[in-house]
Amino acid sequence: MLDVLIDNTTAILVFLVTVVLGWYILTLPRMRNMPPGPLPLPVVGNYLMIARPGVSLLTLFPTLAARYGKIFTFLAGSTPIILINDAKLVKEAFIKNGNIISSRPQHYYVVKKISDRLGLGMTMSNGRQWKELRRVSVTAMRDMGAARTSMEGSIQEEVTELLKVIEKVKDAPVDLKPWLMKATSNIISTIVFGSRFDYEDLRFNLLLQRLAKATSVNIFFLAVNFLPLVRYFCKKEETFIKSLETINAHIKELLADREESFDPSNIRDFVDLALRKRMDDPKERHFQDLNMRRAIVDLYSAGSDTTATVLHWLLLFMADNPEIQARCQAEIDEVLGDVRMVRYADRVRLKFTDATVLEVLRLRPVAPFGIPRYVEENFDLGGYTIPRGSVCFPNILAINKDPELFAHPDRFDPTRWFGENGEVTGRDRIVSFSVGPRSCSGEAVARMELFMFFTSILQFYTVLPGVEGKPVDLTPVLGFLNKSRHQELVLKKR
């Protein structure tokens, strides 16, 4: 009996040692001359570091950046994930080597599963599919929307609607985040469907609820992507994909209304542009139903919550820094008074307000690690080899707080953006929208929204903490995104 036990234990030990040694023998040579990083464990790599309760990428990746310098490797299972923590290196990788690092990883288990069931869409697709959908959506942002008034006109219309809501809830504590979300989502509605939804519209509210649920899951770092065994035990990604399917069905309903009124001689928005492409070439698969719906979901999920969150951060920072808020308001009073509505061109004269928006974008980049990039060929970066098949993330959080670029990087100080002659300079020191051919395609719209919504709110209201004397909570929610916490604020009529 004892002999059998000893034999079995020895066999198990031999097996385990073989697995461990085999794993290191296969993996370590592949990692030669790759950026440094924490010592990986067999099979799981460094994955356990993020699987620990209470640990968030928001804290882990900047800590690893501080330990390993400008670039480091984090092994998720056996997939090398390269974090680039330096602005110059991100630009060298994403702009200079843009042709080999502008794809999205398709081997991510969840990405593949979603694409199989819901089409490829835009944000996670590659090649012609991506290029075509990106081109059409950028055209829609530039030329379409709101019966072809400019994007600025659409934002002014939405500002007016948001101010009406604020007027109703003014002077009392209120959680503004859901309203900011409705306002920024309506800018996407204008790009996609050519018009905004009423804030009380049931279908619109349902869409936002479903999107909020879907975007709360961090699909890029789910264990199922890297550890095949987990697929048998954990079905978290199924719940996520089901919620995307519901959104997809919802978009289908909204599209049905629009398809009826399609007139090829009167192109109004993204949907019309896509329908015309489909009409011109019925075989063109990039604009077929599934892909188009998926691209619409992509636009809502990339453009609504992101902008609303930064806007929320701006209001929280104002409640926390009354002297900075007062300086913005003094400038706004001088340039706009209380009669004229803000225009984007006003930022040239509203320098301090413009710098305040930049400073919050620096301190709270909502997508702190961007969206993963797949490396298609080996290339050299910072003296290391970045191997084909690895996945790169820009560590936007670390770059925006690089002490070599920003003295006292944790300090909230809009004046750091002023050059010698008082102009706002050096905007490209931060990479909150990422860089290169695959950077945020909605950057221009987002910057316009942030400036115009923020200025208009401060023009008529002063932002105060929800409870007098109680500091606002500026700590982000632990997770993959740099999300603000729901909390009440008071908007006091000026």
Residue set of the binding site: 440
Of 328 and 445, nearer to ligand HEM (C-beta) is 445
| Residue numbers belonging to the annotated binding site for heme | 440
Count of residues engaged in binding ligand HEM, rule: CB under 6 A: 27
Please list, in sequence order, all residues whose beta carbon lies within 8 angstroms of the beta carbon of residue 123, skipping any fewer than 6 positions away: 104, 298, 301, 302, 371
CA geometry: angle 303, 306, 307, nearest 5 deg: 80
Of the candidates 74, 15, 3, 10, the one whose C-alpha atom is nearest the C-alpha of residue 45 is 74
- How far from chain centre, in Å, is Cα 340? 32
Neighbours of 106 (CB within 10 A): 13
Residue 130 C-beta: closest distance to ligand HEM, Å: 6
Q: Any contact of residue 196 with ligand HEM (CB under 6 A)?
A: no
Of the candidates 139, 148, 119, 154, the one whose C-alpha atom is nearest the C-alpha of residue 297 is 119
Residue 446 C-beta: closest distance to ligand HEM, Å: 4
Of the candidates 281, 306, 299, the one whose C-alpha atom is nearest the C-alpha of residue 133 is 299
Tell which one of 134, 182, 347, 483 touches ligand HEM (CB under 6 A).
134
Of 49 and 449, nearer to ligand HEM (C-beta) is 449
Please list, in sequence order, all residues whose beta carbon lies within 8 angstroms of the beta carbon of residue 388, skipping any fewer than 6 positions away: 375, 376, 377, 378
Judged by CB under 6 A, the chain residues 292 through 331 that form the site for ligand HEM are: 298-299, 302-303, 306-307, 310
The phi, psi pair for 46, rounded to 5°, reads: -100, 10
Residue 323 C-beta: closest distance to ligand HEM, Å: 25
Q: In whole angstroms, give the CA distance from residue 105 to residue 220.
A: 10
Tell which one of 442, 448, 472, 489 touches ligand HEM (CB under 6 A).
442
Please list, in sequence order, all residues whose beta carbon lies within 8 angstroms of the beta carbon of residue 441, skipping any fewer than 6 positions away: 134, 137, 138, 141
Which of these segments, 11-19, 312-320, 431-439, 468-476, binds ligand HEM (CB under 6 A)? 431-439
Q: What single-letter DSSP state applies at residue 337?
A: T
Of 128 and 470, nearer to ligand HEM (C-beta) is 128
Judged by CB under 6 A, the chain residues 140 through 159 that form the site for ligand HEM are: 141
Q: Which two tokens stand for residue 227?
A: 């550890």
The phi, psi pair for 282, rounded to 5°, reads: -60, -20
Judged by CB under 6 A, the chain residues 175 through 194 that form the site for ligand HEM are: 188
Of 371 and 477, nearer to ligand HEM (C-beta) is 371
Residue whose beta carbon is closest to ligand HEM: 442
Which of these segments, 52-60, 174-182, 254-262, 439-447, binds ligand HEM (CB under 6 A)? 439-447
Burial class (CB in 10 A: 0-12, 13-18, 19+), 198: exposed
Tell which one of 371, 405, 474, 477 touches ligand HEM (CB under 6 A).
371
Tell which one of 44, 366, 375, 489 touches ligand HEM (CB under 6 A).
366
Of 18 and 139, nearer to ligand HEM (C-beta) is 139
Binding residues for ligand HEM, per CB under 6 A? 122-123, 134, 141, 188, 298-299, 302-303, 306-307, 310, 365-367, 370-371, 432-434, 438-442, 445-446
